[in-house]
Structure 1
């Protein structure tokens, strides 16, 4: 069988079959991950294909580029004080889990910190692109998206510090390079918008994607992962919206959704092909179940209690927000791979993290009876859904109930 035919069959399998399985409340990313694991078991090392690896890089980078474009600092300022309290609590739980892993799991402190991030960081891109399917009300959607974005910003900053902390000199140089990139990206966008875009109508999407990939490669070269640079590029493009509205325009966002929806399945498939066979053991299964039974109720309980105490929400509403924030699939997969490559964590722990990621991702699908999907195009399935989410996030505080309205007005 020719390679061209194999690639065509793979594209069909990743883009069509997972969608068909969603009728059984199985998220499409999990199906792609399982396909990758099956390919690894069948083909062994032959399943590692450089073309699939490149497509996977495009997928994860475009997803976090889109996530950066979704950040609206004005919305975050509306709920500043509640979000700051949320980040303080998140920082305390991350520190506590990292300390426990360092002292009792025998992990190096950097690996322990990455483990805490892998267990406690919601996958914002996954959550944001699934909000329209959860049936949450406006206030609940606002807080789910705001908490997810704020948590992702904290996690990316922590990821950069943890990965660079082993070498202070390298960390200093990498920090300078990151600052230079953050200063240079706006200048690059402005230069392209002034000297290229006027002479090439419709090129704004291509320029955005290329700059995002460049930023992703820079942070990867600095010893961090692709997603950090891609997210920063998206955030910079969003901050330039007043000066260059075409960068974060609705048409550009829609085009980026299309781009990401094609390439993201390859990331999950490629991640599956890199799962070591030793990670698929009963020991890993048992450890994964233990981690899930301990960590997942803790995460849900902390958010639920926070909502009850700060806003006096009902039991049901607080629980819905907490459940919507439970998926960790993307962050867990990325950080588990980093821990295995750089710190050689045991295969059993690697497999346990995969099971934990799968179960946290399945939970909202089972509770809300709707399949969650990382495909950003799902938000386009209903007329005006994309605008509805934006309107929900920037609505007036009067749309929020009770003490929650007062908290945002004070902020």
Structure 2
């Protein structure tokens, strides 16, 4: 039995770690390949892969570690220096959200609450995915920081809106959830500080195990509240970043150690996140059809085309940026893949949407992974920015 589980695990690891790398030569993003592998292998050998219960565990670890890392990536100093510009960008995103909600509510049979949740799935930028892609680009540091801060703040704002809308049918529960989240946010940095300074300060190299454990606890706490792992993981990541900055300022760790700890979180997410995308592909394979594929593609073109034009015009007119820079930034802030898939997964599990809508959202999110390729083509054609 144990040898069978091990063999299945090794087989799946080989598939998920090697095949996406091969397709990267053709500029196909790893996330896209992993989702498509889940869909295709689910069709070919459905019973075989559905019996692998460890996939769900590894998938959960992947999405938790990814959102911890996303929280750590927040650069509060840059945000404070550029808050007026970033608030203006958030206002534009909020306006786009309202228009999207209105369109969904009037073009479908979904009520305002469900339309709002679907709209959030369609337009919330996937900060971690975007940041990971921005790193590969030969663009100046200020432009990178601007893109990162833009999408991180948007993701934070939309996460809180998601919490509001998902609990809209039960105001009492919503108030309780907000209260408990507020209490957790208040105590979390104090818990980290207490455990590190008072309990584990003499243990060598305890920083990463402690912080990862805190991240897991935070993730499971918000999941217990009826939200999702990502909320608690993201909150933990924000406070972990602040904690590491404090350690560096107090000279308990140096900059090299800090970067090493952050890179460890990144490595963990890179190892386990493929299982998450693969599991999503497995769950959607039975609902793929030409009609659903066409709807997802149409949504992708209309929504992202509109978002792109709005951001492009705003950046050129308001900030007098160059056309090349504006074009690049407007493309790079569009991908929604991870947030779209996570929200779609939650809505399906809560029976808020049907499997067909779930499949449309997953395919839509998958299509957005190709947007950075357009940006890379732009850089290759016009040179560095």
User: TM-score higher than 0.5 here?
Assistant: yes
Indicate yes or no: 2:270 matched with 1:268: no
Q: How many residues align?
A: 370
Contact 1:326–1:360 (CA<8 Å) still a contact in 2? Answer: yes
Quick one: which of 19, 26, 29 aligns to 2:28?
A: 26
Quick one: which of 85, 88, 101 aligns to 1:85?
A: 88
| 1-structure distance, mates of 2:365, 2:245 | 38
Matched position secondary structure for 1:166:
coil
Of residues 41-50 and 94-103 in structure 1, the stretch that sits farther from structure 2 once superposed is 41-50
Indicate yes or no: 2:319 matched with 1:301: no
| 1-structure distance, mates of 2:261, 2:99 | 41
After TM superposition, list the pairs within 5 Å mapping 1:252-401 onto structure 2.
252-278=261-287, 280-369=288-377
After TM superposition, list the pairs within 5 Å mapping 1:35-50 onto structure 2.
35-44=37-46, 47-48=49-50, 49-50=52-53
Of residues 209-218 and 100-109 in structure 1, the stretch that sits farther from structure 2 once superposed is 100-109
Contact 1:118–1:328 (CA<8 Å) still a contact in 2? Answer: yes
| 2-structure distance, mates of 1:203, 1:110 | 44
| 2-structure distance, mates of 1:179, 1:145 | 25
Q: Quote how far apart the aligned CAs of 1:137 are.
A: 2.7
- The aligned residue for residue 235 of structure 1 is 238
Q: Quote how far apart the aligned CAs of 1:344 are.
A: 4.2
- The aligned residue for residue 11 of structure 2 is 9
After TM superposition, list the pairs within 5 Å mapping 1:397-408 onto structure 2.
none
- The aligned residue for residue 225 of structure 2 is 222
Matched position secondary structure for 2:246:
coil
Quick one: which of 164, 178, 191 aligns to 2:167?
A: 164
Indicate yes or no: 2:185 matched with 1:182: yes
Contact 2:38–2:285 (CA<8 Å) still a contact in 1? Answer: no
Q: Quote how far apart the aligned CAs of 1:325 are.
A: 1.2
- The aligned residue for residue 382 of structure 2 is none
Contact 1:283–1:348 (CA<8 Å) still a contact in 2? Answer: no
Q: Quote how far apart the aligned CAs of 1:209 are.
A: 0.6
Indicate yes or no: 2:209 matched with 1:206: yes
Indicate yes or no: 2:136 matched with 1:136: no
| 2-structure distance, mates of 1:24, 1:343 | 37
- The aligned residue for residue 405 of structure 1 is none
| 1-structure distance, mates of 2:114, 2:363 | 19
Contact 1:121–1:151 (CA<8 Å) still a contact in 2? Answer: yes
Where does the alignment leave 5 or more consecutive residues of structure 1 unmatched? Answer: 371-400, 402-411
TM-score by length of structure 1 reads 0.86
Q: Quote how far apart the aligned CAs of 1:44 are.
A: 3.2
- The aligned residue for residue 68 of structure 1 is 71
Q: Quote how far apart the aligned CAs of 1:315 are.
A: 1.6
Matched position secondary structure for 1:130:
helix
Where does the alignment leave 5 or more consecutive residues of structure 2 unmatched? Answer: 379-384
Matched position secondary structure for 1:201:
coil
| 1-structure distance, mates of 2:86, 2:370 | 26
| 2-structure distance, mates of 1:220, 1:46 | 29
| 1-structure distance, mates of 2:310, 2:355 | 30
TM-score by length of structure 2 reads 0.91
Cα distance per residue 1:100-143 (max 9 Å; x no partner):
21232111322211111111111100011111223323332122
| 1-structure distance, mates of 2:351, 2:161 | 17
| 2-structure distance, mates of 1:139, 1:252 | 24
